[in-house]
């Protein structure tokens, strides 16, 4: 099956040196796992500086045809974040936004994030949000209702992924998507994600280079998802989210 990875990274983690963090190594690894397209964000943008980090992402996506980029945004640097979106939104290979609440110590449903995403709503870019607790997921769902464009909640609550059973039967915003990948890779996670959002709102992410892509692929292939659902998960849904015009 074709694979479209919505969650990858480039650059060293916490200044740990190594060739495997380089974009060339990332591309080789993704291709070895049958992944044809991937959306990448710079670790520098996430950990230290969003401007130089987004510049790093721009260099990487310019060099590798299969890679596309997230513009990283930081609610503590709202003006810089809005300026980055305004400067990069027309770039054909920047196709989404990304942020993570725990690094910034602010909830997605709080005033800082609401103000930021209100300011960058107009381009209608999809968003990837780090949600490593059930509370984080709940806050992101509230933000998604205001944002409108697709919002991918990655990690599915981390250790608390089973609490997503509380979402069963709820009318979630149609723009909420789940990428269940995380270090907590346990049986039943992808099946629960399917029950929560349905087959059209599941997407495939690997969190590479933090994890080997086979962590997510193995979890999916050992799940009870049907082949039709896997096809949507691996490719169809992400293709529709990021390239709605085909």
Q: Tell me how far the alpha carbon of residue 95 is from its chain's centroid.
A: 11
Dist CA 174 CA 42 (whole Å): 28
What pLDDT sits at residue 216?
98
What pLDDT sits at residue 16?
60
Question: C-alpha angle with apex 94: 89 to 97, nearest 5 degrees?
Answer: 80
Give the CATH class of 3-242.
alpha beta
**Which tokens sit at 188?**
């039943």
Taking residue 162's Cβ as centre, other Cβ atoms within 10 Å add up to 15
Per-residue pLDDT of the chain (246 residues), as tens digits, is 999 999 999 988 766 655 566 889 999 999 999 999 999 999 999 999 999 999 999 999 999 999 999 999 999 999 999 999 999 999 999 999 999 999 999 999 999 999 999 999 999 999 999 999 999 999 999 999 999 999 999 999 999 999 999 999 899 999 999 999 999 989 999 999 999 999 999 999 999 988 999 999 999 999 999 999 999 999 999 999 999 987
What pLDDT sits at residue 18?
58
Dist CA 150 CA 126 (whole Å): 5
Parallel, antiparallel or unpaired: strands 3-10 and 35-42? parallel
What pLDDT sits at residue 13?
77
Question: C-alpha angle with apex 97: 93 to 103, nearest 5 degrees?
Answer: 135
Parallel, antiparallel or unpaired: strands 127-130 and 151-154? parallel
Residues 130, 154 contacting (CB under 8 angstroms): yes
Per-residue burial over 67-82, b if 16 or more Cβ lie within 10 Å, else e, is: bbbbbbbbbebbeebe
Residues 6+ apart with CB under 8 A from 31: 66
Q: 175: closest CA among 233, 112, 241?
A: 241
What pLDDT sits at residue 20?
64
Residue 43 CA: distances (Å) to CA of 83, 103, 150, 161, 217: 20, 12, 23, 25, 23
């Amino acid at each position: 099956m074709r694979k479209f990875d919505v969650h990858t990274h480039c650059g060293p983690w916490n200044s740990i040196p190594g060739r495997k963090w380089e974009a060339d190594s990332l591309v080789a690894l993704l291709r070895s796992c049958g992944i044809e397209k991937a959306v990448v964000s710079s670790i520098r943008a996430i950990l230290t500086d969003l401007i130089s980090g987004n510049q790093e992402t721009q260099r990487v996506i310019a060099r590798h045809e299969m890679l596309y980029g997230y513009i990283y945004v930081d609610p503590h640097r709202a003006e810089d974040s809005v300026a980055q979106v305004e400067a990069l939104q027309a770039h054909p290979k920047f196709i989404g936004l990304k942020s993570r609440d725990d690094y910034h110590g602010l909830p997605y449903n709080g005033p800082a994030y609401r103000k930021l995403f209100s300011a960058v709503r107009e381009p209608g870019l999809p968003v990837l949000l780090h949600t490593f607790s059930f509370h984080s997921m709940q806050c992101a769902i509230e933000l998604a209702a205001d944002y409108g464009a697709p919002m991918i909640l990655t990690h599915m609550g981390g250790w608390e992924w089973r609490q997503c059973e509380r979402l069963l039967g709820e009318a979630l915003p149609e723009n909420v998507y789940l990428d269940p990948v995380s270090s907590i890779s346990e049986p039943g996670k992808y099946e629960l994600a399917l029950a929560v959002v349905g087959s059209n709102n599941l997407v495939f992410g690997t969190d590479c280079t933090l994890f080997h892509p086979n962590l997510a692929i193995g979890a999916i292939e050992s799940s009870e998802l049907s082949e039709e659902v896997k096809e949507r998960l691996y490719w169809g849904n992400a293709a529709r989210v990021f390239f709605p015009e085909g």
